[in-house]
Amino acid sequence: MAPTPSSVTIDLSQYRGAIFDLDGVVTDTASLHREAWKKAFDQFLEQHHLATFSTGDYLQFVDGRPREDGVAAFLDSRKIKLPGGLPDDPPGATSRWAIANLKSAYFDALLTLRGAGTFASSVALILRMREHSVKTAVVTASLNCSRILAQGNLRDLFDVTVDGRDAAVMGLAGKPDPATFLEAARRLRVEPVHAVVFEDAVAGVLAARSGEFGLVIGVDRYRNPSALREAGSDAVVNDLAEVIIY
């Protein structure tokens, strides 16, 4: 296959591990998250006669971050003061946690209705990497990782998973902090410099870069490659079909 203008070639002799973000890289669930966030934020914003939540807001303040961090970042961007509340605040309560939990309720409903689509090119790349004895991990802020992997028959693709539940139990900071990526590398028993990270979110790219991973590949699902490059991607592709390995 001839390389495309955005393709990247990886010499796997330099790497022993590959770490993949889930939503938007392996599975086509980022669109469900974006829709759930819009429903949750707009319900609050419309009550206060404020401008609605946009795709740009999603990419800049929410994408790739833990729920509570995303709520805080977006509300701070609008200079909206709201108490943090408690993690079990029900949807409808007046707190940041309540908005986060409303988003989760919307996402659960969308996931049940539409299911978790999978990017075939991503699965193919993961399988090829495993054939080359590269260890694989998935890292996500999602609390639904196990459910999504099960729906997509993806569990056997990964040696390690680090998700939002692991982060909560272990007290790991979310992206753009590198803690969850570093935990995945630790579980894989691979030094970060010998691992490749695949990310579609600016927060995730920043996390991988600050974690000093050997190679950071941005996956541009939103046709915004400059943001991923500026965050520190070594290369940006539109799809993992454009990643050539040997």
Cα–Cα dist 72/68, whole Å: 6
> 31-114 has which fold?
DNA polymerase; domain 1 (1.10.150)
Residue 2 has a pLDDT of 44
- The ranges of the chain annotated as CATH 3.40.50.1000 are 8-29+116-245
- The ranges of the chain annotated as CATH 1.10.150 are 31-114
CB-neighbour burial class of residue 242 (10 A; exposed 0-12, middle 13-18, buried 19+): buried
Residues that are catalytic = 21, 23
Q: What is the pLDDT of residues 26-58, one digit of tens each?
A: 999 989 999 999 999 999 999 889 999 999 999
pTM of the model: 0.89
> 8-29+116-245 has which fold?
Rossmann fold (3.40.50)
Taking CA atoms, 12 is separated from 4, 63, 78, 82, 131, in Å, by: 20, 29, 44, 48, 11
Q: What is the pLDDT of residues 148-179, one digit of tens each?
A: 999 999 999 999 999 999 999 999 999 999 99
Q: What is the pLDDT of residues 56-105, one digit of tens each?
A: 999 999 999 999 999 999 999 999 999 999 999 998 888 999 999 999 99
